Amino acid sequence: MKEKSLVLNAFLNGFRNISNLIFPLITFPYVTRVLSVNGIGVYNFSSSIVSYFLLIAGLGLANYGVREGAKYRDCIEEESEFVSEVFSINIVATIVAYILLAFVTIFSPQINASASTICIFSLQIFFTTIGVEWLFSMYEEYAYITIRSIVFKIISIILLFVFVKDKNDVNVYAAITVFSSVGSNILNYFRARKIVSIRLKLNFNWKIHLKPIMILFASNIAVQIYVNSGMTILGFMKDSYTVGLYSVSSKIYTIIKNGLAAILIVTIPRLSMLWGRGLVDKYKVLFRDIFNGLLLIMIPSILGVIMLSRQIVLIISGEEYISAVSSLRILCFALIFSIIAWIFNDGVLIPTKREKYALYSTIISAILNIIASFLLIGRWGQDATALAVLIAEAAGMIMNIYWSRDIIKLKDILETHFGAIIGCIIIIVECALVNRYISGIIVSTIVAIIVSVLTYTIMLIIFKDRFSQTFLNRLKFRR
């Protein structure tokens, strides 16, 4: 099989992830004005209920499928057997999820009151299962995934403005949301059948799959608790205004994190394939390149956000959310730890079948996050929630590096990038000067970004950074 460009894959996946976040930013202001407060409440409540059953149906199959399936990419018979077995487990888990959802909906009066909307959202469970998105990630089909996703989102935006007209259109909005997120999975299923032979199987050795899948599933549950606990505790200990402030900084943090993580996500199938085939030296070289390349992009990006945090908050949310700037800056530092922890988790622990260590790391980080939130929120509000995330992410990074030390040693992969160091210092100075001498929010942001990107790139070229030289050589070769 012809290997696809990791750079192109990273760009495409990053573009798709950002579009997934931009879509709600476009639609939400319109929806909040058309639907009533109660309607928005029903929508969000129903979506949150179904999300737990999506987790049950999915188990840990996405990560497991990409990791294990990458070993068989060049053998269609073995790949078809593997995909069919994982797909069959997914079908059984989906049936269980629907039974549990039906039980909860029938016997819980509060949930039953939103039964019609929950029923619409529950279609996500079925379409996610038959969509076998992990199969396309495994084969690095990011061009197909990205184009398909964006096309369906554009169609959904049009449908939203055409059909959602008053406060009674909650279910219409829910249906459009489902169509946007998983409607394209119908196409996935038929396309997947052209790649491999997918069939329902029940007579196979379930045990070889279930143990690693359940460990990954437990890790996913821990992640859900970890991600949601800070916001939940903040809501209990403070008021909705404080939660609103943190929501803004958290949303910006998520956008940046997903954009950077896209670079890593597309490399997981390649790393899994190299490790699974025993090509350890090539695996280590690729991991080193990914790690250093990500640092070169991540550090200046985070510094830029810290320096321009006031403008970013004002552009996205307005003057009333200006107090979110401090929590955003704290989350930016947490982002450094988070991305490095993610690299070692998804790039080392998962491909090398050390799921239990990934689970330990997630659970301990979640506990630290909860404890820190309870101890600090009373005094520092939303800033304390951000600080709790920073503490948890730092702990997760340290644990993941420690449990990966016999495979990847940090001292062996960390390179010195003098051009990047000088470039980052210049970014800080440039952004500070822009903040002082250019008053327009949008103009100052655009000027700071353009000047920072140009000077940082020039520094990499002047100091002949290995990555910049490789990129320039590729450009010369293509000419």
Looking at the predicted structure, is the pLDDT value of residue 32 above 70?
A: no
**In this predicted structure, what is the pLDDT of residue 167?**
84
**In this predicted structure, what is the pLDDT of residue 454?**
93
**In this predicted structure, what is the pLDDT of residue 100?**
95
Q: Using pLDDT thresholds of 50, 70 and 90, give the confidence band for residue 334.
A: very high
For residue 441, count CB atoms less than 10 angstroms from its CB and return exposed for 0-12, middle for 13-18, buried for 19 or more: middle
Looking at the predicted structure, is the pLDDT value of residue 74 above 80?
A: no
In Å, how far are 66, 141, 268, 273, 311 from 137, measured between CA atoms? 7, 6, 9, 13, 36
The per-residue pLDDT for range 182-235, each reduced to its tens digit, is 777 888 888 888 888 888 888 888 888 888 888 778 777 777 676 666 766 776
Instruction: Say if residues 424 and 303 touch (Cβ distance below 8 Å).
Output: yes
**In this predicted structure, what is the pLDDT of residue 240?**
59
Looking at the predicted structure, is the pLDDT value of residue 477 above 50?
A: no
**What is the rounded CA–CA span in Å between residue 424 and residue 304?**
9
Which residue type, as a one-letter code, is found at position 333? F
CA of residue 13 relative to chain centroid, distance: 10
The per-residue pLDDT for range 247-281, each reduced to its tens digit, is 778 777 877 887 777 666 767 777 877 887 888 88
The per-residue pLDDT for range 76-113, each reduced to its tens digit, is 788 888 888 888 999 999 999 999 999 999 988 877 88
Which residue type, as a one-letter code, is found at position 252? I
Half-sphere exposure of 60 (CA within 13 A, CB side): 25
**What is the rounded CA–CA span in Å between residue 135 and residue 68?**
11
**In this predicted structure, what is the pLDDT of residue 474?**
55
Q: Using pLDDT thresholds of 50, 70 and 90, give the confidence band for residue 51.
A: confident
DSSP state of 140: T
Could you report how far apart the first and last alpha carbons of the chain are, in Å?
Answer: 26
Instruction: Say if residues 247 and 123 touch (Cβ distance below 8 Å).
Output: no
Q: Reduced to 3 states, what is the DSSP secondary structure of residue 280?
A: helix
**What is the rounded CA–CA span in Å between residue 340 and residue 394?**
9
Nearest C-alpha neighbor of 267 from the set 338, 195, 346, 352: 346
Looking at the predicted structure, is the pLDDT value of residue 475 above 50?
A: no
Q: Using pLDDT thresholds of 50, 70 and 90, give the confidence band for residue 297.
A: confident
Instruction: Say if residues 369 and 386 touch (Cβ distance below 8 Å).
Output: no
Which pair of structure tokens corresponds to residue 354?
Answer: 């050390």
Domain boundaries, the chain: 1-204, 215-415, 416-478
Over the chain, what is the mean pLDDT?
Answer: 82
Instruction: Say if residues 126 and 78 touch (Cβ distance below 8 Å).
Output: no
